[in-house]
Amino acid sequence: MHPEITILLRKPTVEEYAELRQLAGWPAFQPGVIKVALKNTLYAVVVLDGKGVILGMGRVIGDAAIYLHIQDVIVRPEFQKQGIGKLIMIELLKYIDKTAIVNTNIGLMCSKGREDFYKAFGFTERPSDMYGSGMIKIKL
C-alpha cells in the first residue's frame, strides 16, 4: 500500500467526485447535480495522498433504516489493487454496522469483474438460489 495516505470521514468535494468518476470512465454530471447527490449522502470516506490528492472514495446512501446502499467506491486506476478500496469498504461497513438493524437491506452494484472484491466483504451475487436478479434502469 502507498505509505503516505490519509483516510478522512468526509464527503468528497464536487471537483473530487467529478474527477474520480471521469477516471473510472463513468458518466459525468453537472456540478449542481453532484452537489445535491453529495448533500443527500448519509456517510462518505475519502482517501488522500500526502499532497492532498484524492486517491479514492466511497459513500453510503439510503433511508438510514431499512435500506443502505454502498455507492461510488472508486480508486484512481494507478492506485488500484494496493488495498485502498479495502480500506474504503472497511470504513463504510463500520458505519453500516452501527446504523443497520436486523433485516436491513445493504446493497451495492459493482462494476463487471469486481464481484470477488465485494464477496470478500460478505456480499452475495444475484441471481442466487435465494434472490432474483438485480435490475437497473438509467434515464437516457
Instruction: Yes or no: say if 76 and 55 are a contact pair by the CB < 8 Å rule.
Output: yes
27 inside domain: yes
79 inside domain: yes
Q: Do β-strands 54-62 and 5-8 pair in parallel, antiparallel, or remain unpaired?
A: unpaired
Strand order across the beta sheet in which 67-75 lies: 5-8, 43-49, 54-62, 67-75, 105-108
Look at residue 5 in the predicted model and tell me its pLDDT: 94
Domain count across the chain: 1
127 inside domain: no
CATH number for position 20: 3.40.630.30
Q: What is the pLDDT along the chain (140 residues), one digit of tens a residue?
A: 556 999 999 999 999 999 999 999 999 999 999 999 999 999 999 999 999 999 999 999 999 999 999 999 999 999 999 999 999 999 999 999 999 999 999 999 998 899 999 999 999 999 888 899 988 898 99
126 inside domain: no
Domain coverage including residue 81:
5-119
Look at residue 3 in the predicted model and tell me its pLDDT: 67
62 inside domain: yes
124 inside domain: no
Look at residue 28 in the predicted model and tell me its pLDDT: 97
Look at residue 1 in the predicted model and tell me its pLDDT: 55
Distances (CA, A) of 111 to 30, 64, 103, 117: 22, 24, 25, 10
136 inside domain: no
22 inside domain: yes
Look at residue 2 in the predicted model and tell me its pLDDT: 58
- Give the amino acid at 95: Y
